[in-house]
A = this chain, B = another copy of it.
Amino acid sequence: MTGGRREGGAELAPPPGESPIIVLVRPQLGENIGTAARAMANGGLFHMRIVAPRDGWPQPYAWRAASGADKILDAATIHPTVADAVADCHRVFATCPRPRHIVIPVRTARAAAEDLREINARPLRAAVLFGPERAGLDNEEMACADTLVRYPLNPAHMSLNLAQAVMILAYEWWTATEPTPAREFMTNETRVANKGEVDGLLGRLMVELDASGFLDNQAKRAGMVRNLAHWFQRGEVTTQELRTLHGVVTELSRGRMRRGRKPDLDESPPWDDPA
């Protein structure tokens, strides 16, 4: 309900338009601050503010746990209160179990990430509050937030590590605009074979199997050939794999010719019964 207010000069300063600010409120362990920074870097969040860290600042353990996210810690600012940390922000989200004493819109982490992308694009400056390990945000700190973020997780085991809470939000922030296709067929230096190429292999296989006598039973032949064809059509085959399979057919045929006999029962492939 404060969105309609006109406010002072601080509001008019150009917002960074880069990424939301992660505010760690009264964090207890330096290591958790470091792993939170690492998670932020993973998800493309670069601005950290820290409210009243229990063990002071800087803390060497934070840098040790950051795994290369040092720049985020180097640039982190320290604030006495949440109100001070978010004074220049236009929107404040809080990650918190549902408090019973306030009325506030709730978003899943995914919907919050979409909101944050929109806010960022306007551009306005957004912050996301993460409470201390165990205790969470207190009432006064919650009052600084306009939106609550909830993580849909197993209600029988909701206790989230601080860095993991940051990780999920950072992951959703990145994913909200990520163009990676959800399903992809990895081809590297090969490509998916077309139907003609697959039929080429199948045809050669039939010739060799006919020559070996494997398909001699005319009553069963059609079913066996159909089963073989279905097996090849079940998934995508790459041209590289087809080359390998041609080699296998060639090698097995040579072996048969060398040995000059039909395959033993033990050598029969698993598709020998079309029933």
Contacts and interface: CB of A to CB of B under 8 A. Distances in A.
A148 B186 contact: yes
A43 B1 contact: no
Given A111-B182, A231-B4, A235-B3, A68 B270 contact: no
A98 interface: yes
A100 interface: yes
Given A42-B164, A164-B42, A171 B151 contact: yes
Contacts of A43: 153-154
B171 A234 contact: no
A97 B190 CA distance: 18
B159 A174 contact: no
A26 interface: no
Interface in A164-198: 164, 167-168, 171, 174-175, 178, 180-188, 190
A95 interface: no
A33 interface: no
B68 A103 contact: no
Nearest to A35: B161
Interface in A195-237: 230-231, 234-235, 237
A59 interface: no
Nearest to A160: B42
Given A183-B107, A186-B103, A44 B154 contact: yes
Nearest to A189: B100
Residue from A106, A111, A182 with most neighbouring chain B CB atoms (10 Å) = A182
A230 to B, nearest CB: 8
Interface string A113-136: 000000000000000000000000
B157 A69 contact: yes
A271 interface: yes
A152 interface: yes
A41 B154 contact: yes
B271 A186 contact: no
Contacts of A100: 188
